[in-house]
Structure 1
Amino acid sequence: MDIRRMLAGRLRTHERQDPLPLWTPWGEALKTGDARPQLTHPHPQFARESWGSLNGWWDCAFVPSPGGAAPECTAAAPTTFSQRIRVPFSPEALLSGVGRQLKPDELLWYRRAFDAPSLEPGERLLLHFDAVDYACACYANGRLAGTHAGGYLPFSFDVTDLLAPGEKNELALCVRDPSDTEPHPRGKQLLQCGTIWYTAQSGIWQDVWWERVPENRVEELLVDANPDAGDVSVAVRVSRPGEELRVSLLSSDGAVVARGVATATETSVSVRIPVAEPHLWSPEDPYLYGLRIEYGTDEVTSYCAFRTVSIEPDSAGVPRFCLNHQPLFLRGVLDQGYWSDGLLSAPSVDALAADIGAARDLGFNMLRKHIKIEQDRWYWLCDRLGMLVWQDMVSGGTAPYDMWQVNQKPTLSRFACEHFRDDIPSHQVRLSSADPAFQQEWTRDCEDAVRYLRNHPCIVTWGLFNEGWGQFNARDAVNRVRAIDPTRPIDATSGWYDQGCGDYASEHNYFRRLRVPQGLRGSSRAFVISEFGGLTWHVEGHSSFLEPYGYAGFESLEEWRRAVRSLLDEAAALEAKGLAGYVYTQLSDVEEETNGLLSFDRRVNKLLP
């Protein structure tokens, strides 16, 4: 064990200074008005023509919370809105124009006017929020449209009967965010942030948009493009049965490849379309087929890809990750999805594409999206660019975590992790997951995240729990996810506290020599090093904080580069000994952490000369 690195990387609490203002190139363009307008649909996998963005400047006001957990029941709208906020950036982010924390004992109100589009008979207007942290109540012209709780998944309200089409209408949103004062799923956010914990953000942090839809319409889409079966199955949930469902499969240039038709006698209907010799999707050739789904007067465009992902034995009987039944060594990098000027919100689609491109240019074929559900356009870019994704679920639980239990003890002793069950109530207390309400919420969010993202071909693994943070009943979680999506492998417990379930033995190794355990031949689970590295280099003028945090420091940039490349080569060499893949920590610096390959403002690629 490298004691020096372990001591350098110990988690600590300390008085943190305010971050320095640090702008990405895309955030700076948005701030100065030179950014390109957002033209892509917020959900390219489920797109209709008639939609409009509600991003931009809204009025806002911070008011004391009168108490209680439901803002719609406990507060009236303020009479004055004294500030403006740029949506979809949280008030804690530079790009919001606000620059202050929403506290657990406050409410944040948003307000804006907009022209509702004119509706034809039988049409409805939906108001979409792609993510609001954490609980909110939405009002249209002073009347309640609906409420939602949960900080990472999209939701919508039918506001047709509350608006006056063709006229100015007022929208208002009241937000409450307890952050880590309550055990809800929150990811890396912490009010007292520092080291590996980042600025807690709140409010609207993904797109807000309206959509004009037919009353009788497609509401949900499940696509299974199966090259082994030689067909694509499109299952659709509709608002009302009785219409004909027509599905067209399109080539990349828009030509019709095949069609299928079925009549919806119930609210669920499916169409199976045979496809001879489908064009397979891979990182080298990310071929996407288009889909056109028509139901009555409703038309939705989408896409799909033919590919399989599985864990299969190689010729020596060692389990490997396989894409299209061929072993593929996973060269991954940890992607936190934080930005110096937008926090959890990327400043633009171009910024998202730049991160993916930088990872690919550095030789990685996989991104582990860490403890965050990203905006839908990010997965669309990965689908188009051929970047594989390991998708984590969002962690939570009672704060603060017992760092001896989830960090120090596992670091010192692997044996201590091997026989620690997560289905025992006293153990769940030590893993901060004993609250029944938290368990129910995490399970709901996990299942909803899988349903939301399962059509994206880039996602090749679901990651459920990380380092024991809020971990409980991992075996049950695996079974629940498998029931929703039997097509992808599952990393049940990344790091430690392995319960012998899922499709990977998944180890974190920051302070010991990298190794592959004995006895992999004949196992049903592939072995991956799902986190390692964390080598630190602080780039002067490109960090939010003057004092860096990481697992090892170096005398020069060249020394750091040699160490990173050597460690990556060491991990790659273990493929011959049975390693199925790795995840290097990490893609970019984040706040105090300066162990990224890119600087936090994305202006410096540290690994390239």
Structure 2
Amino acid sequence: MKQLYTRWGRDVDPEHVLEEYPRPLMKREKFMNLNGWWDYRITRSRSMERPGVYDGKILVPFSPESALSGVKRQVKPGETLWYRRSFQHPAASGRDRILLHFGAVDQMCIVYVNQKRAGSHKGGYLPFDLDITRFLKEGENELCVQVRDVSDTSYHARGKQKLKRGGMFYTAQSGIWQTVWMETVPEDYIRELRCRPDYDKKEVEITVLSDAKMDVAVDLEGKLFAGMTNIPIRIPLERMESWTPEHPYLYLYTVVAGKDRVESYFAMRCFTVEKDRRGIPRLCLNHRPYFQKGILDQGYWPDGLYTAPSDEAMIFDITAMKEEGYCMIRKHCKIEPQRWYYHCDRLGMIVWQDMVNGGSAYHHWFVTYAATVFGLLHIRVTDRMKMWLSRKSPEGRKEFEKEIKSTIKVLYNHPSIAVWTLFNEGWGQFDTARLEQKMRALDPTRLIDAASGWFDQGTGDFQSTHNYFFRLGVKPEKERACILSEFGGFSMRVKGHCSTMQMYGYRIFADKKKFRRAYRNIWQEVAELEKDGLCAAVYTQLSDVEDEVNGILTYDREVRKTRLQKRKEQIR
């Protein structure tokens, strides 16, 4: 592949990599960022013995497969990736605790501090932290991370990664791909905040979770409210500002519990399905019908793969789509760093969040081609066919359920998230109705797209359709809202801005005028369907990714195809 760079990737300073506070929903005053140059080694052995020498330097948090890491080498199943760096003991008082945070490590890792095992984690998309206080010493300390990644050769969550990339699947990556950081907390500290806005009652419920029983003080815009840890604190709002994409108002608040203090925010909004005067189910924001014009986002970068090269790069994608008239992003088969959701919260971008798909190798003739035919003939196929839907492994099914719970827990407080997508196009699908009910119990405040595309089991809040090849149409149901959860996929290469010579898409254009005309026309079709009951539409996609050149933006984010201005006029 031709190596492309974004403008932010070209400007990456190894001494100052993604330095912003990684978790804006629970912000403390100080933290130690551990991004930057680490030692690395890739061994062919699965031995637990730490290497005596290393291959060179890797720029964390970019995966070794990415150009920005400085390595650009694929870690394969059967190999072990080792990281090592030193750090100074954080200044702390006698009983303070030192927490080590990892945004995400793909897929399985063991963490060592001063050659002692401090903990482990499995799952390539979710954050975790370790209390490393007892492993530390004064002065210089050593941190070592051992990583293994079997990618798409097993049942683990993998999203759109594939060792043999091509078409709609992209370069697999491994290792540390989100920020690594430390913070000092008191012996008794705030472990988690859980914030639930009640739009109809004009109040918010804040629960401060801790392993210790402590008095709690919540300062909400200058007004104090008292309570205890692990007990919900209900706060009425004298003046309620509704959150919308046009007016993304955030309430700022501070929590003090014992010696600990954190800052956070919330928003007042609700997402519901309600019937209009004709009895058609409509997707509503704050109880008003609100058509959600959405864009599918794979979250890939040519220079950083899963990792955006900077905070500004993430902001660019969101604001560029708002400028295009989109109010919603469907985050496809990936969980982003917390800062991405923070920017959606504050900029006013609704998010539909996919659960990250896993399962054994997919039977594409069944979950793609046959499924399309089933949909045309209105044949409902049961999800009990675990072999054809790549979910034979009991361990894999159990792991997926666990990660559903963790995903909702990690992202629960972000007000921009409106919809959880359980399964996409039958990839690793199983027990849809049961899992949809489990998700609703975990989070009754959001809507659920139980089966995006096909293999609909009649559950969830949506009749969810993918349509890339046929005339668009709508057949509203009595209770579930009708959504077009993927469509479009118009492909056009822009010379000098493609990473491969391959061209994957659903309708190919060589002429820019025809591309723009087709793009305008299909959205006019969608506008007509809104009258008949369509509630949301998700266009494929935000940017080109490798072979798949159906983005509104080129892979390097330098050209917006819907406008194709001269370079000096392009958006910055």
- The bucket for the TM-score relative to the shorter chain is over 0.9
Which residue of 1 is the match for residue 176 of structure 2? Answer: 204
Query: Which of residues 146, 153, 170 in structure 1 aligns to 2:119?
Result: 146
| 8 A Cα contact 2:17 2:35, kept in partner | no
Moved more, 109-118 or 411-420: 411-420
1:321 is the counterpart of 2:283: yes
Query: Which of residues 29, 36, 39 in structure 1 aligns to 2:11?
Result: 29
| 8 A Cα contact 1:29 1:35, kept in partner | no
Residue type matched to 1:64 in 2? R
Residue type matched to 2:503 in 1? P
Query: Which of residues 193, 203, 227 in structure 1 aligns to 2:199?
Result: 227
| 8 A Cα contact 1:410 1:417, kept in partner | no
Which residue of 1 is the match for residue 491 of structure 2? Answer: 536
Which residue of 1 is the match for residue 293 of structure 2? Answer: 331
2: distance between equivalents of 1:418 and 1:314?
Answer: 29
How far does residue 65 in structure 1 lie from its aligned partner after superposition? Answer: 2.6
How far does residue 555 in structure 1 lie from its aligned partner after superposition? Answer: 3.2
Which residue of 2 is the match for residue 304 of structure 1? Answer: 266
Which residue of 1 is the match for residue 393 of structure 2? Answer: 435
1:269 is the counterpart of 2:231: yes
| 8 A Cα contact 1:244 1:263, kept in partner | yes
Q: Deviations over 1:283-332 (max 9, x none)?
A: 11000001111100000110000111111111211111111101000100
Query: Which of residues 21, 28, 32 in structure 2 aligns to 1:48?
Result: 28
Which residue of 2 is the match for residue 402 of structure 1? Answer: 363
Which residue of 2 is the match for residue 11 of structure 1? Answer: none
Residue type matched to 1:186 in 2? R
1:348 is the counterpart of 2:310: yes
| 8 A Cα contact 1:417 1:497, kept in partner | no
How far does residue 34 in structure 1 lie from its aligned partner after superposition? Answer: 9.2
Residue type matched to 1:402 in 2? H
How far does residue 417 in structure 1 lie from its aligned partner after superposition? Answer: 6.4
Query: Which of residues 161, 165, 176 in structure 1 aligns to 2:148?
Result: 176
- 1:468-547 alignment, distance < 5 Å: 468-517=426-475, 519-520=476-477, 523-547=478-502
2: distance between equivalents of 1:62 and 1:570?
Answer: 52
Residue type matched to 2:545 in 1? V
| 8 A Cα contact 1:309 1:323, kept in partner | yes
Residue type matched to 2:386 in 1? Q
SS at match of 2:409: helix
Residue type matched to 2:42 in 1? F
Which residue of 2 is the match for residue 6 of structure 1? Answer: none
- 1:233-252 alignment, distance < 5 Å: 233-241=205-213, 243-250=214-221
Which residue of 1 is the match for residue 518 of structure 2? Answer: 563
Query: What count of residue pairs does the alignment treat as equivalent?
Result: 564
How far does residue 428 in structure 1 lie from its aligned partner after superposition? Answer: 1.0
| 8 A Cα contact 1:535 1:551, kept in partner | yes
| 8 A Cα contact 2:17 2:36, kept in partner | no
Which residue of 1 is the match for residue 409 of structure 2? Answer: 451
2: distance between equivalents of 1:97 and 1:89?
Answer: 9
Structure 1 residues 382 and 35, CA, compared in 2 at 3 Å: closer, same or farther?
Answer: farther
Which residue of 2 is the match for residue 57 of structure 1? Answer: 37
Structure 1 residues 215 and 194, CA, compared in 2 at 3 Å: closer, same or farther?
Answer: same
| 8 A Cα contact 2:17 2:310, kept in partner | no
The two structures have a TM-score, normalised by structure 1, of: 0.91
| 8 A Cα contact 2:14 2:37, kept in partner | no
Query: Which of residues 81, 96, 114 in structure 2 aligns to 1:108?
Result: 81
2: distance between equivalents of 1:514 and 1:129?
Answer: 44
- 1:273-292 alignment, distance < 5 Å: 273-292=235-254
1:549 is the counterpart of 2:504: yes
Query: Which of residues 344, 352, 360 in structure 2 aligns to 1:382?
Result: 344
1: distance between equivalents of 2:398 and 2:14?
Answer: 45
1: distance between equivalents of 2:371 and 2:562?
Answer: 30
How far does residue 111 in structure 1 lie from its aligned partner after superposition? Answer: 0.3
1: distance between equivalents of 2:199 and 2:509?
Answer: 49
1: distance between equivalents of 2:524 and 2:51?
Answer: 59
- 1:156-195 alignment, distance < 5 Å: 156-165=129-138, 167-195=139-167
1:131 is the counterpart of 2:92: no
1: distance between equivalents of 2:516 and 2:449?
Answer: 30
| 8 A Cα contact 2:363 2:388, kept in partner | yes
2: distance between equivalents of 1:152 and 1:304?
Answer: 24
Which residue of 1 is the match for residue 50 of structure 2? Answer: 77
How far does residue 456 in structure 1 lie from its aligned partner after superposition? Answer: 0.5
How far does residue 547 in structure 1 lie from its aligned partner after superposition? Answer: 2.0
1:362 is the counterpart of 2:335: no
Q: Give the aligned CA root-mean-square deviation in angstroms.
A: 1.3
Q: Deviations over 1:474-511 (max 9, x none)?
A: 11111111111100110000000101110000000000
Q: Deviations over 1:33-79 (max 9, x none)?
A: 3997644310000111121110011000011233xxxxxxx411000
SS at match of 2:563: coil
1: distance between equivalents of 2:17 and 2:556?
Answer: 21
Which residue of 1 is the match for residue 548 of structure 2? Answer: 593
How far does residue 562 in structure 1 lie from its aligned partner after superposition? Answer: 0.8
Q: Deviations over 1:437-477 (max 9, x none)?
A: 11101111111101110110100010010000000011111
| 8 A Cα contact 1:313 1:319, kept in partner | yes
Which residue of 2 is the match for residue 88 of structure 1? Answer: 61
SS at match of 1:575: helix
2: distance between equivalents of 1:477 and 1:299?
Answer: 36
How far does residue 227 in structure 1 lie from its aligned partner after superposition? Answer: 2.4
Query: Which of residues 361, 369, 382 in structure 2 aligns to 1:421?
Result: 382
How far does residue 412 in structure 1 lie from its aligned partner after superposition? Answer: 2.7
How far does residue 259 in structure 1 lie from its aligned partner after superposition? Answer: 2.4
How far does residue 421 in structure 1 lie from its aligned partner after superposition? Answer: 1.3
1: distance between equivalents of 2:159 and 2:330?
Answer: 14
2: distance between equivalents of 1:350 and 1:88?
Answer: 16
Structure 1 gaps of 5+ residues are 1-18, 67-73, 251-255
Structure 2 gaps of 5+ residues are 565-572
How far does residue 549 in structure 1 lie from its aligned partner after superposition? Answer: 1.2
**Matched residues, percent identical?**
46
2: distance between equivalents of 1:412 and 1:37?
Answer: 48
2: distance between equivalents of 1:226 and 1:128?
Answer: 31
| 8 A Cα contact 2:554 2:561, kept in partner | yes
2: distance between equivalents of 1:564 and 1:276?
Answer: 45
The two structures have a TM-score, normalised by structure 2, of: 0.97
